[in-house]
Amino acid sequence: MADTQSPIVRLTRAYRHLERLTEVIRIMVKFGFGDLFDRIGLGDVLIRARRLVGLTVPDHRPTRPRRLRQALEEMGLVFVKLGQYLSTRQDILPLDYLDELARLQDAVPPMPVDDVLRIIGQELDEGLLLDVSLEPLAAASIGQVHTARLADGAEVVVKVRRPGLQRQINTDLEILTELAEQVERHLSFLEFIHPLDLVAEFKRSLNSELNYRLEAINIDRFHHYYLHNPEVKIPILHKSLCTDSVLVMERLSGSKIDDLGALTAAGIDPSEVARLVSRVALEQIIEFGFFHADPHPGNLLVMPGPKLGFLDFGLVGTVDRAFRDRLLGLALGVVNRDAARVVRHLLRLTKPAVRPNTEALELEIGLFLETHLTGSIKDIRLGPLLKDILELLSQHDLRAPSNLLLLVKALVQLESLGLRLDPGFRIVEEAEPVIAKLYRQRFSPGHWWEIINRGGIEMAMTLEGLPDELSPLFQTIKSGRLPADLTIKGFEKMGQFINQASYRLSFAIVLASLVIGSSLVMHSKLPPLWHGLPILGLIGFLGAGIVGFWLILDFLRKYKDL
């Protein structure tokens, strides 16, 4: 009777996977990685594969990182995408592997135009797209882009996904998942990278690239942000022509962002373009919390103005307000060479695998800052700095979340592009006014009013539901079924703290009520009026200002050490 728990059964699950698995092993052995299968307990699979295809191990002259890149390219779409994903993981791979994997290309022979027209015909009504170009503008492993024309004459580009990808991808992802399980089971020294979590994250990223409806949502969101911005052009999306497999949007014309000759010929200063693209990208991160995570030259055009045009929206990142505030705190800590603050915000940005030794980490961060910040802050090269920080995090078992890794990837690409356009480009110098703007916003009265308003409303809702939550406890105490005689050390101080907190909370609720009530009075124009403004509303805002000012002073006095 066969052992259903053997590696070969777990790894193939069904006979259809055996052929693909054998092909993967053949390629890995061909490039000198057969030892990995022995190390993860799959020696029997390797023996079977060698017997089936007669594998021999050739003499390998290239470096191991280069051979890994070549093997991934030969294994196809999923493994190429995996390599591209791993090239952003400075926290788990050495620099020589990162540099080599960053060279991975997913360019493949274009689909026959008949297949393109067939897919368009299946997805869209006949006659909606005219004059689809015979030659693609671009071809990649997931899809390709053609020019076309709408019935009203508007020029568009149409992205068409290659057919039959999902089945191939599902098979390779199942094999990757099983391989990750084997790695976790047999290679304990790689436990810190969490192979199964890594594969799951990669799977989510890949599936999002496959669904063009998700890209359409990204385009629509960027279009909303830049609707009235003369420096940025987001192509108009034709929503009625977008499906899971087809995406239709306005065609943009301009110069490739890294074509210095074309920029100069068009009268556009490349250094001005470097400043523009960095300013736009930093605003996306810091102001919108929604950023283009793949700003490489193939995704960007420059039009007269100069105006920046975005072409592809398949890879985006998001950072919420709390995350951005932590990034701001981290940046201020680096600028001030404050190791304690840097560590505090790094711990808030990451996911510790084990309880970190903060004293040792602070010491290392202090040395790190002294090493990297020997000159002016504006002369910092952000790419090497971020890569070294991620390597330091991995040494302390601090896992960087996916949005932080995407952010680092985007910033590194952005700095590289800026230097290509202008050798004197300094991304930190470009970031300074954007960070200063965010800093002013965070400490503006309007921001504090927003926090107090939101906190007051949430606390009021909590207090409203508190009687229902506590009712069962009071009933139990009242019935005498919960006798208790508790003496808690330090309870008196806790009671004082609760009283003070309740006192401040009451003022915060009064403050929120004053702001809301005064706003309603101002809107209603209730007499008596002074210069056209209701006097009662003005008095209410004055009272709210006094209460808010007192609360801020009290907070700063009591918690200035935070």
Distance of alpha carbon 545 from alpha carbon 541, whole angstroms: 6
Distance of alpha carbon 411 from alpha carbon 34, whole angstroms: 36
The answer to whether position 212 is within a domain reads no
Catalytic residue among 91, 258, 294, 312: 294
Same domain, 290 and 435: yes
The answer to whether position 518 is within a domain reads yes
Listed in sequence order, the residues at least 6 apart from 305 whose beta carbon sits closer than 8 Å to its beta carbon are 230, 231
The answer to whether position 115 is within a domain reads no
Same domain, 35 and 67: yes
Same domain, 462 and 412: no
Burial 84-101 (b: 16+ CB within 10 A, else e): bbbbbbbbbbeeebbebb
Residue 511 belongs to what domain range?
445-480+488-558
Same domain, 428 and 288: yes
Same domain, 371 and 420: yes
| Three-state DSSP class for residue 303 | strand
Backbone torsions φ then ψ of 107, nearest 5 degrees: -70, 135
Same domain, 522 and 381: no
CB 271 within 8 A of CB 264: no
Same domain, 449 and 340: no
β-pairing, 351-352 vs 398-399, is antiparallel
Among residues 313, 351, 102, 323, the alpha carbon closest in space to that of 215 is found at 313
Chain position carrying tokens 């090493």: 371
Same domain, 319 and 416: yes
Which DSSP state fits 351? E
Question: Over its length of 562 residues, how does the chain's per-residue pLDDT go in tens digits?
Answer: 344 445 555 544 545 577 787 788 888 888 888 777 666 666 555 555 555 545 555 555 678 889 899 899 888 888 988 888 888 777 677 778 888 888 887 667 888 999 999 999 999 887 788 899 999 988 888 889 999 999 889 999 999 998 888 888 888 888 888 888 877 777 665 666 678 888 888 888 888 888 899 999 999 999 999 999 999 999 999 998 999 899 999 999 999 999 999 999 999 999 999 999 999 998 898 889 999 988 888 899 999 989 999 998 988 989 888 888 888 888 888 878 888 888 888 888 887 766 778 888 888 888 888 877 776 666 777 777 777 787 788 778 787 788 888 888 888 889 889 999 999 888 878 777 777 776 666 555 555 555 555 555 555 556 556 566 666 666 666 666 655 555 555 545 555 555 565 555 656 666 566 666 666 655 555 667 676 667 766 676 677 677 666 666 666 565 544 4
The answer to whether position 219 is within a domain reads no
The answer to whether position 232 is within a domain reads no
Q: Count the neighbouring beta carbons within 10 Å of the beta carbon of residue 136.
A: 20
Same domain, 414 and 277: yes
Per-residue tokens: 531:
């210069």
Distance of alpha carbon 57 from alpha carbon 47, whole angstroms: 13
The answer to whether position 19 is within a domain reads yes
Same domain, 301 and 411: yes
The answer to whether position 140 is within a domain reads no
Active-site annotation holds for 294: yes
The answer to whether position 136 is within a domain reads no
CB 234 within 8 A of CB 226: yes
Q: What is the count of structural domains for the chain?
A: 3
Distance of alpha carbon 324 from alpha carbon 289, whole angstroms: 7
Same domain, 434 and 452: no
Listed in sequence order, the residues at least 6 apart from 233 whose beta carbon sits closer than 8 Å to its beta carbon are 226, 252, 303, 307, 308, 309, 310
Last residue within a domain, chosen from 176, 206, 236: 206
Distance of alpha carbon 200 from alpha carbon 176, whole angstroms: 10
Among residues 310, 296, 258, the alpha carbon closest in space to that of 105 is found at 296
What pairs with residue 504 in β-bridges?
Answer: none
Q: Which amino acid is at 246?
A: V
Same domain, 436 and 466: no
